[in-house]
Amino acid sequence: MTPASHQPDLRRIGASAFTEVLDTLLSLSATVQESADDRPVSAAPDEISSSVLLTGQRLSGSVHLRLPQTFVACSVRRLTGLDVDAGNAHELQDDAAGELANMVAGRVASQLAADGYPCKLGTPSVSHSARLATKNPNGVINARTDLICEGHWLSLEIQCCYADP
Amino acid sequence: MTPRILSIDDSKTIRLLLARLFRPFACELLEAANGEEGLAVASRENPDLIILDYNMPVMDGIAMLRKMREDPGLKRTPVIMLTADSGLQSLATVARLGVRDYVTKPFREEELLGKVGRIIPLISRANP
């Protein structure tokens, strides 16, 4: 396994990637929360979870976002100019949540590549019942970052498994 | 002639974003949800510019670019690649396939408009 001291700082990478996407795409600023321990790990009924797989020779893993539906609806409105009361609101919200995960994963992959761990992105998947991980399977590093943005609590989790150096 | 832009992205959010972005300008926006659909629309409509997503199901942006470069009717159509993957390897690949420019997602709207404006004229509908 790659020694822990040589591994990328996933929490820093995640916070940087997520805040950059919110700022560039939505012109929204976000505050990184220092402690994520007091947040329930199950997605609430009004939350959307979106994930993207990362695949590389030295690393495999995934990037997960957990976003309140009201935040995603606000994002759709900002991006498309469409009101979410339209008939295809749920389809659009799921699509937007997937695209946000895709962009955050892209930024994470870019930073991992700069740290010597190049990887490719998978296609985003979206769920309304996903859980963030509570325990790490053997060898899997789990880094969670919570952000407050426009009064919404947003969560990002990066899971990575490093191949032998 | 009104310039025609073909937006190819599996994300409906991005296609709607581009529709909003180009609405103030005198141009026609066409769209497709993957490379296969995009190739069919491009062959039929002969757009002045294609804005092409890198990572898509069915046929991704790279596969579509390769098909375009083999097609005498499409091989000179300018392409701007949109990609969430800013890795050097993917950028080198798209450069070899002759894309005119690329934009990394997330992008600032003015960045994309600036790059499109360098390829086709973007004239405001309010001030033709």
Average pLDDT over residues A73-77: 93
Q: How confident is the model at residue A133 (pLDDT cuts 50, 70, 90)?
A: low
pLDDT of A2 > 90? The answer is: no
Q: Rounded to two decimals, what is the model's pTM?
A: 0.89
ipTM (interface predicted TM): 0.88
Please indicate whether, in this complex, the C-beta atoms of B105 and A103 are within 8 angstroms of each other. yes
CA dist., res. B38 & res. B18, Å (int): 16
- Mean pLDDT in each 10-residue stretch from start to end of chain B (128 residues)? 93 95 92 95 96 90 91 93 76 80 92 94 72
Q: Which two tokens stand for residue A79?
A: 């991006």
Please indicate whether, in this complex, the C-beta atoms of B84 and A24 are within 8 angstroms of each other. no
pLDDT digits over A16-51, tens only? Answer: 999 999 999 999 999 998 765 555 544 456 899 999
Q: How large a percentage of chain A has pLDDT more than 70?
A: 80
What's residue B74's pLDDT? 93
A-to-B residue pairs, Cβ atoms closer than 8 angstroms: 67
What's residue A162's pLDDT? 87
Preceding peptide of B57 cis, ω within 30°:
no
pLDDT of A5 > 90? The answer is: no
Partners of B112 on chain A (C-beta within 8 Å) are none
pLDDT digits over B104-121, tens only? Answer: 999 999 999 999 999 988
Q: List, in order, residues 6 or more apart from A143 with CB less than 8 Å away.
A: A10, A11, A13, A14, A157, A158, A160
Distance from the A38 Cα atom to the nearest Cα atom in chain B, whole angstroms? 30
